[in-house]
């Protein structure tokens, strides 16, 4: 079985030639599969192709999608969360976050996740498997289909640890750049950080894509190793100081600043002493801190930090010379936290 989604124009021309068709038939497939207005999910719908060519492709197991819509939730602010079923009866989430000028797609890279972050619904269920590049890309088309507009920005912040699925991640980024026409600078890869993989990500990106211009966002969530391990138990394998060292190398190798995600958890990491500690860890380094409000989930002890603590924390970082911004939660009223829609549907 081969999913044509993720194929380049050249690949599709070669498919057409292999079936005794003219190369332009491959270009017709290309134009069709990357056009979100075609609410397509199978090869028979590519009516522009001759009937016998469609039949041959279908008989040989070619597909254009392996996902189906299982559930959707639209929040009051327009954020759309989709639950998609895979062919092996798993489910994954993706989110479309609209604003006037942008539509940001938040994509999953794995079914489940092995990283076990204590604040996350996905982490509670462990890893089932990694997603193929075609399954990653299909999430974009589902969002575009449902929201009836083009995705402009991509964040790999859905289910899974992208750095544990680097090959398919980079294959999908190749297609996002070339086929979906979204530049690398509009893509963010978010990681909780896996030993050695930050270096590997930039190395492989140079090999496969020829450059490495996407934003790397590291979920730090703590200003010291001990606190980090209480939030992310798997962090015990990767010292926070080593993460900063590897991040500095990423900046040197790529010229791109690194973004550090910091989830504000009441009484855990939201005091001014933590803001000072974080400033010392990051000073003199080309980076940016994103403070995030926490979306509470069932069965988890953590609580959202108060707005007052958040603002004090932000001002302290800023006064200490650290670039910082506050990311407000979107779609809070509808299963907005990572893995939450999947968790709620599986409880039904
Ligand atoms: S927050 Fe991300 S890395 Fe952590 S368990 Fe959830 S999906 Fe995995």
Which tens digits make up the pLDDT trace of 89-138? Answer: 999 999 999 999 999 999 999 999 999 998 888 888 899 999 999 999 99
Terminal-to-terminal C-alpha distance of the chain: 33
| Cβ 94 vs Cβ 82: under 8 Å | yes
Residue 14 structural domain? 2-63
Which of 92, 110, 112, 117 has most ligand 1 atoms within 8 Å of CB, for mutation?
A: 117
Positions marked active-site: 93, 338
Atom number in ligand 1 closest to CA 191? 3
Whether residue 306 is found in the same domain as residue 319? yes
Ligand 1 center from residue 336 Cα (angstroms): 14
pLDDT digits (tens, 9 = 90+) for 319-343: 999 999 987 766 544 444 454 445 5
Tokens of residue 206, six digits:
């140079």
Nearest to 250 by CA among 210, 290, 197, 207: 197
Whether residue 157 is found in the same domain as residue 209? yes
Ligand 1 center from residue 117 Cα (angstroms): 6
Whether residue 50 is found in the same domain as residue 104? no
Report field, pTM of the whole predicted structure over 0.75: yes
Whether residue 317 is found in the same domain as residue 182? yes
Whether residue 218 is found in the same domain as residue 338? yes
Whether residue 20 is found in the same domain as residue 81? no
Ligand 1 center from residue 40 Cα (angstroms): 31
pLDDT digits (tens, 9 = 90+) for 219-261: 999 999 999 999 999 999 999 999 999 999 999 999 999 999 9
- Angle, helices 307-319 vs 272-282, to 10°: value is 40
Alpha-carbon distance 247 to 312, whole Å?
26
Whether residue 34 is found in the same domain as residue 111? no
pLDDT digits (tens, 9 = 90+) for 266-299: 999 999 999 999 999 999 888 999 999 887 776 7
pLDDT of 300: 75
Total structural domains in the chain?
Answer: 2
Percent of all residues in the chain with a pLDDT value above 70, rounded to a whole number: 93
Whether residue 270 is found in the same domain as residue 159? yes
Tokens of residue 30, six digits:
């290309």
């Amino acid at each position: 079985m081969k999913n044509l989604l993720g194929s380049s124009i050249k690949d599709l021309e070669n498919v057409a030639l292999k079936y005794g068709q003219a190369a332009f038939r491959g270009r017709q497939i290309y134009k069709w599969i990357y056009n979100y207005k075609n609410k397509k999910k199978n090869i028979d719908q590519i009516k522009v192709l001759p009937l016998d060519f469609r039949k041959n492709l279908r008989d040989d197991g070619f597909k254009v999608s392996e996902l189906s819509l299982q559930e959707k939730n639209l929040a009051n602010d327009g954020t759309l969360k989709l639950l998609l079923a895979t062919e092996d009866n798993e489910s994954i989430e993706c989110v479309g976050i609209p604003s006037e000028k942008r539509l940001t797609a938040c994509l999953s890279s794995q079914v489940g996740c092995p990283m076990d972050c204590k604040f996350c619904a996905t982490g509670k269920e462990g890893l089932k498997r990694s997603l193929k590049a075609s399954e990653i890309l299909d999430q974009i088309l589902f969002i575009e289909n449902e929201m009836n507009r083009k995705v402009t920005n991509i964040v790999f912040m859905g289910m899974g640890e992208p750095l544990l699925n680097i090959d398919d991640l980079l294959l999908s980024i190749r297609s996002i750049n070339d086929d979906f026409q979204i530049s690398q600078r509009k893509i963010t890869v978010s990681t909780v950080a896996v030993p050695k993989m930050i270096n590997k990500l930039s190395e492989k990106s140079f090999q496969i894509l020829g450059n490495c211009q996407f934003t790397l966002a590291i979920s730090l969530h703590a200003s010291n190793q001990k606190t980090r391990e209480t939030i992310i138990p798997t962090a015990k394998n990767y010292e926070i100081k080593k993460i900063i060292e590897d991040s500095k190398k990423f900046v040197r190798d790529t010229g791109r600043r690194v973004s550090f995600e910091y989830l504000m958890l009441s009484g855990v990491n939201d005091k001014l002493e933590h803001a000072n500690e974080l400033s010392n860890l990051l000073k003199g380094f080309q980076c940016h801190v994103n403070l995030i409000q926490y979306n509470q989930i069932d069965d988890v002890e953590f609580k959202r930090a108060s707005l007052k603590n958040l603002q004090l924390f932000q001002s302290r970082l800023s006064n200490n010379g650290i670039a910082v911004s506050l990311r407000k939660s979107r779609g809070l009223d509808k299963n907005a936290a990572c893995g939450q829609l999947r968790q709620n549907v599986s409880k039904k």
